[in-house]
Structure 1
Amino acid sequence: MTEPAHAPAPTPYSSAASGRATHYPLLGTPHISLSGTVDQAMYASFREQLAKAPREGPLVVSLSTLGGDPEVARLMGDELRLMRDYTGREMLFLGKVAVYSAGATFMASFPVDKRFLTRGTRLMLHERIIDKTIQVSGPLKSCVATLKATLHEIEESVRIEEEGFRAIVVGSRVSFEEVCQRAPSNWYIDALQARDLGLVLDVI
């Protein structure tokens, strides 16, 4: 008589191992679904969907993006923060497939215990990039002013970048120093690693 076959061990992304979706039923139907480049078009879609979303109860926002304008990401995050601060409303973030660059900036506006990723999703953290040509021409004092203005722009961008890095790691097991060390070479983090590092609450 042959022994009964044993069921195969679940893989990290199998439904048996990651059947947590039933623990978070709200995540199955996000109120706001954003995808594509983080830009003014995404912001317009965000505002339109937010206006149509229920006025009470938890609000779920899903995002899939390869990146875009970090200031638009900060703007959307700040609008949700203000709503949360003034109403006490719970807001949940669900990252899908790719949450790169400006997408991670947007995710940082949610506390770590309100962040979720779908299995197989990747985060990517990196430094801000500038692509600017400076032409120095004219009176010397005006040239100095032009160079100083560019330097101040870079310095302020670095400060904003560091604010974002601190926001994304607060409450996690990742230090600010580690992000600063790894971001210059584009730090890719898969969903399970993000959960283990405490950057998100769970993977579904």
Structure 2
Amino acid sequence: MDTTPLPHTTFHAPAVLLSGPVDHDMYRQFRRQLDAAAERTVVVVELSTLGGDPEVARMMGEDIRFNSEIAPERRFAFLGKAAIYSAGTTFMSFFARNNRYLTRGTRLMIHERKLSKELKINGPLTTCVATVKAALHEIEASIAIQNEGFAHLIKGSRVTMDEVLARAPSNWYIEAEEARGLGLIEAVL
């Protein structure tokens, strides 16, 4: 895998341009543009987002991971512009650290996943226990998925898991130069 920093000119005409909420519409746009870039050896994905669905971000990220593995001669680079919040940061975590770039003044935002759910307990007691356990398992699985994403994001950086876990509950905003200094990205353009 080539780890040489990419020159600024690489980012002149990104193969994939995405902005707005990370949702299924964005995923369709992403796949269409990614598939159209099949002949490119360097594929730049440019994103600006205030966040969205973390599972869609993971789907997009898995496409990047899969393509990187099946075509190691190709390089997939991330360019974040203006705001890379929440699900956008999750998506960015799937790119190798040396392939992550932000434009000047861009902000990353890292936070814990959120859950809004009412738990209604009604019926035979054994059914009530199963309902409560199912809700607990959902929360535990979501925490595990969230922490896997945090681990990908900080791999190769100076940020520890303890630091992410301490700061994420209150929305951790990181300016581009700070992200570079922490080793979360390769460079600021």
TM-score range, shorter chain: over 0.9
Partner of 2:155: 170
- CA distance in 2: counterparts of 1:27 and 1:143, whole angstroms: 55
* Equivalent of residue 12 in structure 2, options 12, 15, 28: 28
Instruction: Supply the RMSD in Å over aligned alpha carbons.
Output: 1.0
Partner of 2:64: 80
Please tell me whether residue 105 in structure 1 is matched to residue 90 in structure 2. Answer: yes
Report deviation, 1:176: 1.0
* Equivalent of residue 40 in structure 1, options 24, 40, 56: 24
Report deviation, 1:24: 2.3
* Equivalent of residue 93 in structure 1, options 73, 78, 88: 78
Partner of 1:135: 120
Report deviation, 1:56: 3.3
Select the structure of larger CA radius of gyration.
Answer: 1
Structure 1 SS opposite 2:35: helix
Partner of 2:37: 53
Structure 1 SS opposite 2:45: strand
Give the length in aligned residue pairs: 183
Structure 2 SS opposite 1:133: coil
Partner of 1:160: 145
Amino acid at match of 1:106: F
Partner of 2:106: 121
Structure 1 SS opposite 2:120: coil
Partner of 1:181: 166
Report deviation, 1:23: 2.8
- CA distance in 2: counterparts of 1:76 and 1:100, whole angstroms: 15
Report deviation, 1:26: 1.2
Aligned residues: percent identity? Answer: 53
Structure 2 SS opposite 1:129: coil
Structure 1 SS opposite 2:77: strand
- CA distance in 2: counterparts of 1:199 and 1:75, whole angstroms: 21
Gaps spanning 5+ residues in structure 1: where?
1-21
Report deviation, 1:54: 4.1
Q: Which runs of 4+ in 1 moved over 2 A?
A: none
